Amino acid sequence: MTRTIRGGRGRLRLAVTLAAVSAVAAGAAVALASGAEAGSTLGASAAEKGRYFGTAVAAGKLSNSQYTGILDREFNMITPENEMKWDATEPTQGQFRYTGADQIVAHAQAHGQRMRGHALLWYQQEPGWAQNMSGSALRSAMMNHVTTVAGHYKGKIYAWDVVNEAFADGNSGGRRDSNLQRTGNDWIEAAFRAARAADPGAKLCYNDYNTDGINAKSTGVYNMVKDFRSRGVPIDCVGFQSHLGGLPPSDYQANLQRFADLGVEVQITELDISGSNQATAYANVVKACLNVSRCAGITTWGIRDSDSWRTGENPLLFDANGNKKAAYTATLNALNGPGSTVSTPPVSSPPPVSSSPGGGTGNGCTATVSVNQWEGGFVATVRVTAGSSAINGWTVTLPVPSGATVTGSWNVTRSGNSWTNVSYNGHVEAGQYTEFGFQATGTASGLNPACSAA
């Protein structure tokens, strides 16, 4: 969120007592796992509705027993507050560092909590070396970052914020300017495809703020998600940060619902609420999520008010001493109230392959390829353009360079050097185009595609 980024806090509150608290916490964790305590903690109550209740965690606080006592009693999903960001995980280009993030993942695994990954690409918290890059060099570095970090955590992440905060505030409904955006408007879909190839089991989310009601910005995101779904770009979920200053907008639930109706899961990803009607506001957010069957869960952006990035606003569910606030009780009561059965879509499987792609040999189409190469790998995007007549199927002959190995592909089925349309992209109108792509290790030298229409 751009409005206030407060840094440099982060002093640990050293815990005072607390053998007793950790003993209680350990007991509660066991009970939560068995379901015996359902209804008495945020995580258990959310789980009764098929949902999760999570929080942002800072690795540096995992040694604080008051902090972990609440974390392990109340929350069953964890987002690293800063530790998976680009500046933390790749401080020097090509040198990856997972110290803090691995600590959080280990904690989650030891306590039966799931992980949200946050965030693979974001215009803030870029390492200095990336801030100074642009164009194809930056695009390659971005894709390498996505591939490497998502690959490192393969199988351990419930959902990734693949791209964070890429849309502009205000009425434009368009993209935010950044060096990421200036690498080309397709950077977001390229990132989602690279993330899918690296960790096919993780749900892939777009995450943003000021998108909590129906407005120009959220409509811009909505249109992107709709476009991605129609073209087979692998997006599974949309995160609504929900940094609120009072009651959620009156169309909060309707906004969640319109995204859910596109077939994606929706998640409340960074909830914190300031203001005097805090308890009611929290309850309203919970009720909205419970009323949307594809709303999978809620994450608060920190545990105690003293952990919040919003210094002095006290926007969280526990006070600085770890006591439950009125907002906590309102949240728990709402979780225990009425709510829909959750029904979240699975991670989308690869598109169906056409059983008879056609065997014509006429020309009728042309193919061109563009490449994002990084050290050790590349993504190739192939554009198939129909000639003066519509085509109803195509095959591109494109040998993979020697020494290269394809690790994933999209919008295409491959047999050796032949790349053929899938069911939904064989028909191309005269003069129009469709695109497929693949990711590979090695070097993309000498790629020379030839197209023939069915």
Residue numbers at the binding site for ligand G2I (CB under 6 A): 1, 5, 7-8, 10, 81-82, 124-125, 164, 209, 241, 270, 309
The encoded tokens of residue 348 equal 């989308």
As measured in angstroms, the least distance from the Cβ of 49 to ligand G2I is 26
Residue 124 or 340: which CB sits closer to ligand G2I? 124
As measured in angstroms, the least distance from the Cβ of 118 to ligand G2I is 6
Residue 157 or 422: which CB sits closer to ligand G2I? 157
CA distance 255 to 285: 12
Kindly name the residue from 165, 189, 265, 435 that is annotated as catalytic: 165
Residue 232 or 248: which CB sits closer to ligand G2I? 248
165 is annotated as an active-site residue: yes
Residue at token pair 């390492």: 127
As measured in angstroms, the least distance from the Cβ of 124 to ligand G2I is 6
As measured in angstroms, the least distance from the Cβ of 309 to ligand G2I is 4
The letter for the amino acid at 34 is S
As measured in angstroms, the least distance from the Cβ of 82 to ligand G2I is 5
The encoded tokens of residue 444 equal 């993309």
Residue 28 or 237: which CB sits closer to ligand G2I? 237
Residue 158 or 309: which CB sits closer to ligand G2I? 309
81 is annotated as an active-site residue: no
Q: What burial class does residue 49 get, using C-beta atoms within 10 Å of its C-beta: 0-12 exposed, 13-18 middle, 19+ buried?
A: buried
As measured in angstroms, the least distance from the Cβ of 23 to ligand G2I is 30
The letter for the amino acid at 304 is R
Of 72, 101, 76, the C-alpha closest to 86 is: 101
Residue 81 or 435: which CB sits closer to ligand G2I? 81
Minimal CB distance to ligand G2I: which residue? 7
Gyration radius of the chain's alpha carbons: 23
Kindly name the residue from 189, 265, 270, 435 that is annotated as catalytic: 270
Q: Which are the catalytic amino acids?
A: 165, 270
